[in-house]
């Protein structure tokens, strides 16, 4: 039985990585496969939105480097909200450098990402050394890594043999790489024949999700939660502007978050059958 037709709970027990296990457990507990991307640029607004949407989400995705008034208290408050509402934190850092540099970017600087972010992500472009570098920081802390195997933007170069290469890199680092940012499932991709026999499971986290729009003016492309989860077999949908966008008030943001949570969960239940 392919992994994506099994329940999140059943799959949780199979992951050795603590971040992957915790994420799948939270998803089952809250009936939410919705990751909310809170791409706003002021600390106060960021925390207000996170507190408002916390009940509906399994995972809050951040771009911490866009916050203009970042300080350590933001991290303290974000972690408090993650306990209050029971969600994990995913810093969408998209690391893309040599091992030695990503070690420093992950653990040091103003943001000290490794100290608070359960999950982060990296491009495969530098080759396996980016994983070993990040793992040297993340594994002792129980963190998980997603590799970008595909992107949602028009004209993305991450396809074909590039995607295959990313999947092979992930297979060699199962303790730390928990899955992919991708538009499709990756089973069978880059398989050399024998991997198919291995009971492999990777989380597929998919951005480019929207119910009311098909894209934006800068190359973003949207599909619906049903297309992504029920038809495509993805595990987690990422929604940003579909929830916080358009300058709407907090009650509207909450209504939208619940709408995406319900749609994402319905699509998951549909594919289990
Ligand atoms: O391929 C990708 C990968 C990512 S992580 N396409 C994406 O859009 N993202 C991120 O998902 C992007 O950086 C943004 O934070 C979010 C999508 O936001 P939305 O407002 O378009 O839903």
Average per-residue pLDDT in the chain?
A: 95
Nearest ligand 1 atom to the CA of 242 is 22
pLDDT tens sequence across 143-170:
999 999 999 999 999 999 999 999 999 9
pLDDT tens by residue, 168-227? 999 999 999 999 999 999 987 866 554 454 678 999 999 999 999 999 999 999 999 999
**Is 31 labelled as part of a ligand binding site?**
no
Residue 241, ligand 1, Cβ within 6 A: yes
ipTM over 0.85: yes
Give the pLDDT confidence of 90-102 residue by residue, as tens digits: 999 999 999 999 9
What is the structure's pLDDT at 191? 63
**CB 37 less than 6 A from any atom of ligand 1:** yes
Would you say the CB of residue 120 lies under 6 angstroms from ligand 1? no
**271 annotated ligand binder:** no
Question: 107-137: per-residue pLDDT in tens?
Answer: 999 999 999 999 999 999 999 999 999 999 9
Separation of CA 226 and ligand 1 centre (Å): 18
Of 14, 51, 86, 94, the catalytic one is 94
118 as an active site residue: the answer is no
Atom of ligand 1 at shortest distance to CA of 39? Answer: 15
What confidence tier does 86 reach under pLDDT thresholds 50, 70, 90?
Answer: very high
d(CA 155, ligand 1 centre) in Å: 15
Q: Give the pLDDT score at 187.
A: 82
Nearest-CA residue for atom 6 of ligand 1? 152
Cβ(233) – ligand 1 distance below 6 Å: no
Q: Quote the pLDDT of residue 192.
A: 55
Is 249 marked active-site? no
pLDDT digits (tens, 9 = 90+) for 26-71: 999 999 999 999 999 999 999 999 999 999 999 999 999 999 999 9
**pLDDT at residue 4, rounded to an integer:** 83
- Distance of CA 54 from the midpoint of ligand 1 (Å): 19
**How far is C-alpha 71 from the chain's CA centre?**
24
pTM of the entire predicted model: 0.97
pLDDT band at 87 (very low <50, low <70, confident <90, very high): very high
pLDDT of residue 197: 46
- Is 92 near ligand 1, meaning CB less than 6 Å away? yes
pLDDT (mean) for 83-93: 99
């Amino acid at each position: 039985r392919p992994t994506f037709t099994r329940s999140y709970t059943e799959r949780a027990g199979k992951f050795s990585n603590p971040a992957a296990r915790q994420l799948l457990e939270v998803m089952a507990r809250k009936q939410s496969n919705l990751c909310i991307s809170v791409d706003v640029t002021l600390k106060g607004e960021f925390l207000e939105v996170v507190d408002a949407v916390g009940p509906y989400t399994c995972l809050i995705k951040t771009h911490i480097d866009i916050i203009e008034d970042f300080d350590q208290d933001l991290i303290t408050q974000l972690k408090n909200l993650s306990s209050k509402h029971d969600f994990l934190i995913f810093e969408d850092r998209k690391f893309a450098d040599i091992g030695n540099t990503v070690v420093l970017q992950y653990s040091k600087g103003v943001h000290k990402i490794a100290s608070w972010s359960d999950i982060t992500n990296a491009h495969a472009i530098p080759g396996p050394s980016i994983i070993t570098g990040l793992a040297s920081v993340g594994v002792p802390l129980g963190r998980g890594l997603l590799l970008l195997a595909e992107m949602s933007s028009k004209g993305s170069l991450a396809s074909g043999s590039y995607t295959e290469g990313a999947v092979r890199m992930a297979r060699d680092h199962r303790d730390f790489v928990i899955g992919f940012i991708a538009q499709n499932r990756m089973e069978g991709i880059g398989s050399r024949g024998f991997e198919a026999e291995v009971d492999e499971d990777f989380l597929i986290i998919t951005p480019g999700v929207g119910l009311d729009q098909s894209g934006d003016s800068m190359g973003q492309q949207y599909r619906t939660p049903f297309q992504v989860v029920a038809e495509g077999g993805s595990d987690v949908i990422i929604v940003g502007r579909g929830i916080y966008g358009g300058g709407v008030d907090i009650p509207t943001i909450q209504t939208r978050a619940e709408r995406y949570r319900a749609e994402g969960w319905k699509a998951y239940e549909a594919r289990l059958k």
